Amino acid sequence: MNDIIIAADGLSKSYDGKPALRSLRLEVPRGSICGFLGRNGAGKTTTLKLLLGMLRRDAGSIRLFGEAVESEASSIAARRRLGFVSEDKELYPFMNVDQTIRFTRPFFPGWRRDLEEKYLDLFQLPRKKAVPKLSKGMRTQLMLVLAMARGAELLMMDEPTGGLDPAMTEDVLRILADLAASDGTTIFFSSHQLAEVEQICDRVCIIDQGQVVIDGVLDDLKYDYRRILLVFEGTPPRELAGLPGIDHLRQRGRTASLLAHGDMDGLVERARELGPTSVEVRPVTLKELFLDHVRGE
C-alpha cells in the first residue's frame, strides 16, 4: 500500500502565458487531513483541477494512490477512488436529492448504502427535495453524502465551508475529522479560513504565486518556526538579513521582527552579537506563518 496519496512534482500551468503554477511540489500522506492554503489566485483551484484531470498540465507529474496519472484512463481510475466537493457546491438543478444519489451510485462499485442512509439521516436531508431548493449548506451536505457513501479513500474539497454559517461550518469540520479518524480517509482541502485549518488539519501546504512556500506537519511547523523580536537603540543593522534560518524580516523603527526556523539557539546567539537592547523569542501561529510567507517583505 502506497503511503503517499497525492504526489505532484514540478507541476506547472499557465493561462495565456501567465503562470498559475510554477514547478509545484506536493505530497499528501495517506490518512492525513491536509489544508491547502493560499491567497485568491495563488493556484489552489488550478492545482485541484489538475489533480482531477479537468485541466492539462504544461509540465510535471502527478501520482494519485501511487499510480501515475498520465492519461484519461488513469485519471478515471483515480477518480473512482476519490470524492470531490467543488467551491460552489453546484449539483444538477433538474434533479432532487434522491435522483442525484441514484445517478451517482452506479459509478462507484464500492457504494455503501449504510453510509448513504447514515449521513442522510445525520444531515436530515429530505430525499424528495429539489436541488435548487437546497441551501448552500444542504448542498454541501449532499456533496459530502455523495463523496462519503462512495467509500472514497480521498476527499478533495475546494473551500468546503465557504458560504456556510458558523454552526454548519463546525458540523462539517467535525464530520471531516471523524471521517479521517474512523475510516482513515485522506482529506485534502483548500481554504482561506486559517482557524478551521488549524482546528482539524495535521498538515498544511501554503501556496503563493503558484509555488509551495510551506509544506509540512502543522505541529512540526509550529515547533520549528519562531518569531524573534529584536529592539535596537537605533536602526536595526543590515546584517540581520544575512543571518541563517531567517524566512522573513520586517523592520519598523528600532524594532526588527524575524520569522525564523532551524537552529534557534544559534540564531539568537548570532542576533545578540548585533547588539540589540532586547531579544524576545515567541512561538508562531499558523496565521503568522501564512501572512509572513504570502505577503513577504
* Footprint on this chain of another protein (rule: CB under 8 A): 49, 52-56, 72-73, 76-77, 79-80, 82-84, 86-95, 99, 102-108, 143
253, 243 in Cβ contact below 8 A? no
Residue 241 CB, nearest distance to another protein (Å)?
41
d(CA 29, CA 35): 12
Residue 159 CB, nearest distance to another protein (Å)?
12
| SS3 assignment, position 73 | helix
Residue 107 CB, nearest distance to another protein (Å)?
5
Nearer to another protein, 18 or 56 (CB): 56
- Strand pairing category for 18-29 and 67-68: unpaired
Nearer to another protein, 79 or 203 (CB): 79
- What DSSP element (H or E) covers 5? strand 4-15
Residue 24 CB, nearest distance to another protein (Å)?
17
User: Angle formed by the axes of helices 136-149 and 113-123, to 10°?
Assistant: 160
d(CA 249, CA 90): 43
Residue 214 CB, nearest distance to another protein (Å)?
27
Nearer to another protein, 68 or 195 (CB): 68
Helices and strands (DSSP H and E) totals, the chain: 10, 14
Nearer to another protein, 84 or 123 (CB): 84
Residue 52 CB, nearest distance to another protein (Å)?
6
Nearer to another protein, 99 or 209 (CB): 99
Residue 108 CB, nearest distance to another protein (Å)?
8
240, 203 in Cβ contact below 8 A? no
Sequence letter at residue 243: L
- Strand pairing category for 67-68 and 82-85: unpaired
Nearer to another protein, 142 or 213 (CB): 142
Q: Which residues pair with 68 in a beta bridge?
A: 63
User: Angle formed by the axes of helices 97-104 and 136-149, to 10°?
Assistant: 30
Helices (H), 107-231: 113-123, 136-149, 166-183, 194-200, 218-224
Burial environment of residue 202 by CB neighbours within 10 A (0 to 12, 13 to 18, 19 or more) = middle
Residue 211 CB, nearest distance to another protein (Å)?
21
Nearer to another protein, 105 or 254 (CB): 105
Nearest one of 6, 9, 12, 17 to 57, comparing CA atoms: 12
Nearer to another protein, 18 or 252 (CB): 18
